[in-house]
Structure 1
Amino acid sequence: MTVRDARGGRGPATWGQRAIHSALVKLGTEAPRYNLRLAAPVDPGMTPEAVLRAYTELLHLHDALRTRLVEEDGDLVQIADADGTLPVALLHRDTPELAEEAAADLLGAYARQPFDPAGGWPVRLGLVLVDGLVRQTVVVLSHTAADGWGMRRMVRDLMLLAAGRTARDLRAEREFAQPLEEAAEQRSPRGRRRDAAARRHWRDKLAAGPRTLLPRPPGEPDPRRTFPYALLRSPALAAALPEAAARLQTSDATVLLAAAATELARLGGQRAFLCQVVVGNRFTEQAAEAVTTLAQEGLFHLPEISADFAETVRRARGPALAAYRHSGYDKPELDAELDGLRAAGVELADHSVFWNDTRDPLAALMADAPGREGPAERELSFPDEFPIRPGVSVAVDVVVVPGAVELRMVVDGALLSREQMAGFLCGVEELVLGAAGQPGPDRPKAG
């Protein structure tokens, strides 16, 4: 697939690109875990020419899909290529069922491979054909090109392009930020002020927050320990969140965050709570429409949790707003400042807990699409274990699935047992149901 005469250019990397690039370098061989992936049916089938035309238009539309990140003189530079070729795997199978299996296999193979951010485009594409028509499409993106929100926008635009629209049509209908434009804004006086304010927020909260969130056992932790992964899939939580938010007169994101703070503070025997909250940084219409990586961590500090959950939610509103407001910054610069404080003997608050609420309106619409059925009952399972994640004690993702909300939790096995993980997840669900005026469910058994 060839792209010609697209918009190109070079300039400094954005804050989001720097943050993701730095994280992936530290992860090394584990970096592919953060590749974004999608395998989707094409029903009815389309000719490969039509599908490739849509993808070519997509690459013309969004510069991030043609952007390489190169380290030059100690700095990270983004290069948007105006011309280039993207290899596309074309697989042929005899039946739709075999095509679906082939797509799943190709998705796994693509997702396991690291990207070369300097040497190639951050996209892998494969098509599976049956009787000459594309029946499955496989896309894997590097996290340097998009976050979850950006990938969902990419899917929406791809569907419009597959229906016959062009990149020129979509650009004429709406404005959206491109990575080079975003970097220019961040280097402007307004962007520098925003960066300085965000880093000051981090320093202040890390000076005030609790030094330990979860009790740590004596001695050095076992280097062979694993990080168990727990998943609670809850239709009841999906139904209760809007009602709880309406009753408490706040957003459902704040209700969930307050519930997580309450339950984790209970486990740690704390009255205060602090965590890193992944924020999409899409506060303007142009950012909301962008296919790029804008997500960064905000710092949420709740000085005191109340015994009354409604009061905790009320107290969480201001800190949540502050965390979201100060979630855009130059992360390498912040990391250098924090390293300097540690070197000077300053003890920083424990900020090893991560909360990532990935929901957005488009995801909800996709999850509720006709013909897609969700689970009838809540389910709790421990489907996997992961290697050690440096700097992480607890990480929780909130995900919309058809008919339900999932809470996905990864924990340092030295800090919490599986029973405690189950108690946290069910506790969050029960707090939200209680706030919605619904009876608490029987706790599900771990699967």
Structure 2
Amino acid sequence: MHQSPPPTPHAPRTVSVTYAGGDERRGPLTMGQANMIRCILRDDPEHINNHDVWAIPAGTAVDAAIDALRILALRHEGLRTTFPHAPGTAPVEQVVAAEGTFTVTVVDHSEFPEEPARYAESVARAARAGRFALDREFPLRISLLTLGGVPVHAALASSHAVTDASALAVLREEFLALLAGEELPSPASFAPLDLAAQEASPTGKQKSEASLQYWERIIRTEPQEMFAEPRAAGADGRARQLTLRSGRGARALAAAAGRIGNPESTVLLAAWCALVAHRSGQDSCVTAVPTSNRFHPTIARSVNTLSQDALLCLDVRVPSFDTLVRKTWGAALNAYRHSQFDSVRLWEMIDRVTGERGSHFARDVVFNDVSVLPATLLSTSPQESRAAEPSLTWGSFQALPTRMLAFTYETAPQLHISLWADPALFTPDEAEGFLTGLVRLLEAAATREVPLDSLTGLTGVWPAVRGPDWTRVNGCWVSPCAVRDALGAAVGGLPVHIATDAEGSGLVAYIARGSDTAPTPTGVHKALMAELPAHGGTGVIAPARYVLVESPPAERDRSDAWHRLQIIEEGTGRSRQVRHEH
């Protein structure tokens, strides 16, 4: 059957919009801004930028929509903020303009494609491409999609240095209120510079310090990568979006929450952690849980980037899912309490602690529940395959700076989750099985207490398979063979043997340095840390001790043979060395 090509829009026109009458200000960055700017300068812009689609009420004139956008720019200092910095450096201050200009692209159509909402979403998503120029660019890239000259959708991408999902929700709500002729009250929430001043106060610094201490405890003692397994070595940093929509899942979640007596968000988070820990074969689930940090009225409606990671560490060694849910409640609250921090100091701490521990913190699991935000056009628009239960649809490949990322958009009337799972770890069938397994767990928990040792049979999700070489060291799954190979490469191919410390405190590396080289434990450790992949995934953690000998034994695979050799020098590589006299 012949299909007509999709309708072609008319040539776009660019409208310059000027604003004036604001206050000019300058000052330091907020913690959230500094955190996101670090990501913006490092990550793929298609991943780090945001986008949204706003449905415009019928009959709205183009000029009225543009006037509403102008009012928003004047109303919110964040939209008039740029971040000056020299090339090759990161910004350290923000500047608020009193006046300026931004552009709106008007794209008119004689007719829309068959699914206007999907089309508008594709326009908004395409606008995410390209890094925002922090020192000069307006933080919203706006397209007005019109039909016969009448606006239907505003499709926009935004800089994460200025807006997060909650800020976009505030802007959407106020935009629609202005189009409805409502008069907006004066902003009651802090502008970014006001928040920066609060964060620099003694109370703000104390709160940040407490967060750093909380994070350090987890970074120092818990798994550095959830998916430390042989399959992880084949990752290429991209994954396809897989979207679940399930009315059954929503009803089961509500019933489980009612039966157990905890909020739906807590039950869903517990189910996620239980299944991730089960699949990865870990005793605890370490997952980043981005949080809006909008718990106080002074920042609840701030147009600013406030979202930062809450780091949840949940020990899953409990008998039942009910027990885990109740444990999740307190663990999540503790994580949220410690989600405001100085990101520069945080990463300095992570570098220091992982250097001492001999690992790389992978941040390989992220669970972002945005279901409490006002529903967007995208989350409520009709979708294909609603008859299937549950509905699973695949999207395109996207950059994935983690191993497993989930967004929860809705929990009622349907459970709507999008998952990006590293294809090196999850085949398409396994990714689909993970989401359907999540629904099965919720359905079981809706009616009874579920033993956690029954997850394989209940959900169909199987734990990771690791060979006999793999072992747990310092709370992490480790492959001594992979450690040997990484260390051998780091020391230029010198003979290396990895043994388990007799006291169970970690790995011991024996290195035959020969007569032509003079490595030290400190130099060896530094070289290995440079060799470790920053994204993890190979089961490598640095040995607790490095032992330097002259030559390898005849039986190189026997730890006792290496142990009998004359030691030239030994040490942790992280502190004062112990030298042995001949």
TM-score by length of 2: 0.68
Shift of 1:70: 2.5
Bigger Rg over Cα? 2
Is 1:80 equivalent to 2:96 in the alignment? Answer: yes
User: Could you say which residue in structure 2 is the equivalent of 1:300?
Assistant: 312
**Unaligned stretches of 5+ residues in structure 2:** 1-16, 451-457, 461-582
User: What code does the residue aligned with 1:317 have?
Assistant: W
Aligned to 1:70: 84
* Stretch of structure 1 that moved more, 131-140 or 12-21: 131-140
Q: Does the Cα contact within 8 Å between 2:235 and 2:422 map onto a contact in 1?
A: no
Q: 2:438 aligns with which of 423, 428, 437?
A: 428
Q: In the aligned structure 2, how far is the partner of 1:102 from the partner of 1:358?
A: 22
Q: Which of 381, 400, 408 is the matching residue for 2:418? A: 408
User: Which amino acid is 1:309 matched to?
Assistant: F
Shift of 1:51: 1.4
Question: CA distance change for structure 1 residues 17 and 435 in 2, over 3 Å: closer, same or farther?
Answer: same
| Residue pair 1:126, 1:139 contacting (<8 A) in 2 also | yes
Q: Which moved more, 1:324-333 or 1:269-278?
A: 269-278
Q: Is the 8 A contact 2:189 2:302 kept in 1?
A: yes
Question: Superposition pairs for residues 390-409 of structure 1, below 5 Å?
Answer: 390=401, 392-400=402-410, 403-409=413-419
Q: For residue 341 of structure 1, what is the aligned residue in structure 2?
A: 353
Q: Pairwise mapping of residues 284-433 of structure 1 onto structure 2 (< 5 A)? A: 284-347=296-359, 351-360=363-372, 362-363=374-375, 375-376=386-387, 377-387=389-399, 389-390=400-401, 392-400=402-410, 403-433=413-443
Aligned to 2:489: none
**Quick one: which of 33, 37, 46 aligns to 1:21?**
37
CA contact (8 A) 1:216 1:414 kept: no
Q: Percent identity?
A: 25
Deviates more, 1:146-155 or 1:285-294: 285-294
Q: Cα deviation per residue 1:92-147 (whole Å; 9 max; x = unaligned)?
A: 33345699598566435423233111111101222234444333322221121211
Q: What is the distance in 2 between the residues matched to 1:135 and 1:306?
A: 52
Q: Secondary structure in 2 aligned to 1:242?
A: helix
The 5 Å alignment of 1:1-400 reads: 1-27=17-43, 30-71=44-85, 75-95=91-111, 100=116, 106-166=123-183, 169-171=184-186, 175-217=188-230, 221-222=233-234, 224=236, 226-347=238-359, 351-360=363-372, 362-363=374-375, 375-376=386-387, 377-387=389-399, 389-390=400-401, 392-400=402-410
- Name the structure 1 match of 2:510: none
Q: 1:206: Cα distance to partner? A: 1.7
Secondary structure of the 2:85 match is: strand
Give 2:430's aligned amino acid: Q
Code of the residue aligned with 2:154 in structure 1: it is: T
- Partners of 1:78 and 1:92 lie apart in 2 by 36
Instruction: Give the SS at the match of 1:86.
Output: strand
The verdict on how the C-alpha distance between 1:127 and 1:183 changes in structure 2, with shifts beyond 3 A counting, is same
1:54–1:158 Cα contact (<8 Å) kept: yes
Distance 1:232 1:265, change over 3 A: same
Q: Do the aligned residues in 1 keep the contact of 2:219 with 2:350 (CA within 8 Å)?
A: no
With a CA cutoff of 8 Å and minimum separation of 6, indicate the structure with the bigger relative contact order.
1
CA offsets, 1:154-174, max 9 Å, x none?
Answer: 1011111111234xx321xx6
Instruction: Report if aligned partners of 2:54, 2:377 keep a CA contact under 8 Å in 1.
Output: no
For structure 1, which segment, 86-95 or 5-14, has the greater mean C-alpha deviation from structure 2 after superposition?
86-95
What secondary structure does 1:38 align onto?
strand
Q: Which runs of 5+ in 1 are unaligned?
A: none
CA distance in 2, matches of 1:425, 1:98: 29
- Which residue does the alignment assign to 2:524? none
Q: How many residues end up aligned between the 2 structures?
A: 433
1:323-373 per-position Cα deviation (integer Å, ceiling 9, x unaligned): 11001101121001111223334446664211111111523899679x999
* TM-score, normalised relative to structure 1: 0.87
Change (3 A) 1:224 1:138: closer
Alpha carbons 2:167, 2:305 under 8 Å: kept: yes
- Whichever residue aligns with residue 73 of structure 2, its letter is L
Contact 1:306–1:312 (CA<8 Å) still a contact in 2? yes
Q: Shift in Å at residue 21 of structure 1?
A: 1.0
Q: 1:88 to 1:212 in 2, by over 3 A?
A: closer
Mean CA deviation greater in 356-365 or 272-281:
356-365
